[in-house]
Amino acid sequence: MIKKYFYFLLVCFFISCEQSITPVETAIEDKILYLGNGTEPQDLDPHIVTGVPEHNIIIALLEGLMIANPQGGAPLPGVAESWDVSSDGKVYIFKIKDQALWSNGDEVTAADFVFSWKRILTPSLGAQYADMLYILKNAEPFNKGKIKDFSQVGVRAVDAKTLRVELNNPTPYFLNLLTHYSSYPVHRPTIEKFGEIDTRGSEWTREENFIGNGPFILKEWQLNKVLIVKKNTNYWNSNIVDLNEIHFFPIDDVSREDRMYRSGYLHLAYSTPQEKIETYRTKYPDHLRIEPYFGTYYYRVNTLKKPFNDPLVRKALSLAINRDDIVNKVMKGGQSIAFSFTPPDKKGYFPNTQLDFDPQLAKNLLREAGFSKGKFPIVELLYNTSEGHQKVAQAIQQMWKLNLGIDVELVNVDWKVYLSRELSGDFTISRAGWIGDYPDPNSFLDMMVTGRGNNKTGWSNPEYDNLVKLAASAKSTNERFKLFREAESILVNELPVIPIYTYTRVYMLHPDVKGWYPNILDTHPYQFIRLEK
Amino acid sequence: MLSLIWKRLITVIPVLFAVITITFLMVHSAPGGPFDADRVVSPDILIQLNERYNLDAPLWEQYFSYLGNVLQGDFGPSFRYPGRSVTELIFTGLPVTFELAVYSIIFAVFIGVFAGVIASLRPNTWVDYLPMSAAMAGICIPSIILGPSLSLIFGIWLGWFPVAGWEDLPGDKVLPVITLGTAYAAYCARLTRGGMLEVLGQDYIRTARAKGLSESRVVIVHALRGGLIPVIAFLGPAIAGLLAGSFVVETIFGIPGLGRFYVQAAFNRDYTMILGTSIFFSALIVSFNLLADLVAAAFNPKLREGIYNE
């Protein structure tokens, strides 16, 4: 009797658990894209947020004057119909498309941009990305409260559809910069309905209130679960938008994301477990994507601490690192060894520096700096909790021990502790990484100018500062890149930062997703993406 | 009974006060602040942010200001989610965590009691050893191992259940509930077995059997009531534990519960959110322990007398 019941229950169980069709399998019909998107977005206000997950959503909901080119290269026109540049390269006149509308039907105007740029630059808003617009005339003094009158800032509406922008210097990457969400417009009546120009975190970004001008509109936002956007029929280029919806899943656990991808709940797994890359390379070659990325993994040296204030010591440390081994035996994710601080961009800037592996020279340099074997103090190497950082740190610990006889103490701390120690200078050497905000060497090299917040090394070189400054006002791209190459040489010679490898983006993408191209900023405007077998 | 409840509730006040004070001091002494970011925030902006969130005031002033707000039921704004209040976030995550806990406890009690009763009826035979060995395994395997293993087998290899989500797809609750409930089911099984063995050896059970009652009637009607007392006493702390400890399972299966907010708040140094959720969880744990005492008393007359005499 019991046996009979048991078998009956077993059969019921198997029937009830019949394999269902996964969302990815039905996606082509429904035209819904399922994306893993790292962490839960902090907010959807382009003037408040700072992270990549937020960027991925905001480019669906809002659009600036320009759109990032999905295949890299020159940006594409967004709400800007056309633009003229003055002969000195400092003044841009943008014509805004007549068809550019907000999702409630209002026209997108030049005044929207003036209001929006005033908003992000208003000191009391406390926008962390306000400095992205410091290239505008008087933007920095306005943001720092030194001038109060916004009409002195280099942006004004000539008429409803004409925007005049004046820059401090000719800035060749200005149009690229306009693809960044910090320059996106926000809908003034909505902002003012829920607060003042400087109100942080008002309810305007809630699903019932959000007014955008991007290819999608906010449909649903369930915290820690999913954020859904749907096609915006008022978008000026809605004809080319193929997707009906995009579902962004906030998945901060790499293993869960991997499981979700493999069981058919995602078209894109934002990151892939490092230990699985080799397996996936052979098992899912048409899913695994390894693409160049505009970022450098490096070690930051506190140059205010002895003996690291001596460039010979820093150079010795760099020469004792076998970058080939780190890339090929430790990381195994298609990363390339770094020979400069700025990652080389095949379509643009290509630094002519070199970072060799030469243990003998390293030993000699260390001796020259006054350290014979066994005399060097124990080095503290700080990194935040991550398997990848730990593996690299362990490998370098071995290399320095083997090649220079230096003892390294690894210090693993949580993210906020790591940030706090770096910021206060309470470190000797720390791991670091930098991803460019826009595809220009300035995004890297400007960071190491004396006194810049992100420098954090205490390093200062007036010649370097001068070269970066001169590059900002250079007349041609060739001249700019030449100046940048000279600055890069100084950096690689003095090594306040020791570049290790150039990042790659390693992720899983379903082969049915078309129009998703590799590009160094990893930006994929959704209006160009479609689902097809 | 009412005076007993009242007396117990009064003791909650110093407990919550201690929780607020200790948590407040701990979060503020932890290195790293809520606005520390990879891309350094300029000092001017940091001043504005600190001013906005009252972090520029002396610590004692911040403490009393927070205490005053809590007494008025205001847990303050979240630092991580600029447009959301802590209260809103708690009430976003709580129903999900609560639902997960309720299903898990139902699963635990159903499986645990069933296994415990079966084991107690044939002590020291394979009918006893099998469920008790399984229970031991259930106690030993942590959810951080069990969850991904279940996902791998039943989600990826067999494709029977979704590996993540909550209330989106049919069957998406199965794996999280099993993962969270297994250890508690194991405890229930062992407690039930122990309780049943004690009761089954008593005189009134022998009398019932002697009167010719069927075995099922003896077990279900007469023995189970007494045999379940240890399980009932365990339920209060178990529910409290499930509510407070569900964050691992919520992370494994991507469940938008309160536990995930709690963990994220700690990593993000979201001071108000850490404090708000700590207070909330403490209140829940104290309440469920009290509730468990009352239910146990209702089942056990001896216990009831003891509590009244307290």
Asked if the Cβ–Cβ distance from B32 to A420 is below 8 Å, we say yes
- Given this model, what pLDDT does residue B127 score? 80
Phi, psi (rounded to 5 degrees) for B281? -65, -40
Q: Which of A445, A211, A287, A466 lies closest to A351, judged by CA?
A: A445
Answer yes or no: do B93 and A145 touch at CB < 8 A. Answer: no
In chain A, residues with a C-beta closer than 8 Å to the C-beta of B246 are none
Concatenate the DSSP letters of all residues of B95-131 into one string: HHHHHHHHHHHHHHHHHHHHHHHHHHHSTTSHHHHHH
Query: Cβ of A205 and B83 within 8 Å?
Result: yes
Average pLDDT over residues A447-464: 92
How does pLDDT run across B53-72, given as a tens digit for each residue? 888 899 999 999 999 999 99
Of A51 and A115, the one with more pLDDT: A115
Taking CA–CA distances from B266, the nearest residue in chain A reads: A416
Cβ–Cβ gap A43/B52 under 8 Å: no
Tell which wins on pLDDT, B141 or A80: A80
Distance CA A526, CA A35 (A): 11
Query: Residues, chain B, total?
Result: 310
Q: Which value does ipTM take for this structure? A: 0.84
Three-state SS for A226?
A: strand
Pick the residue with more confidence: B36 or A138? A138
Mean pLDDT of chain B: 85
Measured between beta carbons, which residues in chain B are less than 8 angstroms from residue A20?
A: 159, 169-171
- B39 to chain A, any CB pair closer than 8 A? The answer is yes
B185-211 burial, b for 16+ CB within 10 Å, e for fewer? bbbbbbbbbbbbbebbeeeebeebeee
Q: How much is the average pLDDT of B92-107?
A: 91
Instruction: Give the minimum alpha-carbon distance from B303 to chain A in angstroms, rounded to a whole number.
Output: 38
Of B30, B38, B83, the CB nearest to A201: B83
CB contact under 8 A, A263 and B82: no
Q: Environment class of residue A22 by beta-carbon count within 10 Å: exposed (0-12), middle (13-18) or buried (19+)? A: middle
CA distance A66 to A60: 13
A358 and B CB contact within 8 Å: no
pLDDT score recorded for residue A2 = 46
What's the DSSP call for residue B20? H
Which among A20, A131, A249 is the nearest to B42, CB-wise? Answer: A131
Q: How far apart are CA B150 and CA B142, in angstroms?
A: 12
Note the pTM of the prediction, 2 decimals.
0.89
Q: Distance between CA atoms of B270 and A200, rounded to whole angstroms?
A: 16
> Which range is least confidently modeled, A219-223, A311-315, B200-204?
B200-204
Q: What count of other Cβ atoms lies within 10 Å of the Cβ of residue A450?
A: 13
* pLDDT greater than 80 at residue B94: yes
Read off the pLDDT of residues A212-262 as tens digits, 9 standing for 90 and up.
999 999 999 999 899 999 999 999 999 999 999 999 999 988 999 999 999
Q: Which residues of A touch B30 (CB under 8 A)?
A: 416-417
Cα dihedral A259/A263/A268/A273 (nearest 10)? 20
- Nearest by CB: A262 against B40, B156, B170: B156
Give alpha helix (H) positions in B30-85: 43-52, 59-71
Residues near A57 by beta carbon (within 8 Å), at least 6 away in sequence? A37, A41, A44, A227, A229, A248
Q: What is the pLDDT of residue A4?
A: 53
Could B254 and A223 be called an inter-chain contact, meaning their C-beta atoms sit closer than 8 Å? no
Beta strands per DSSP E along A97-180: 155-159, 162-166
**A389-410: string of b/e by CB count within 10 Å (b at 16+)?**
bebbbebbbebbeebbbbebee
B39 contacts in A (CB within 8 Å)?
50, 128, 454
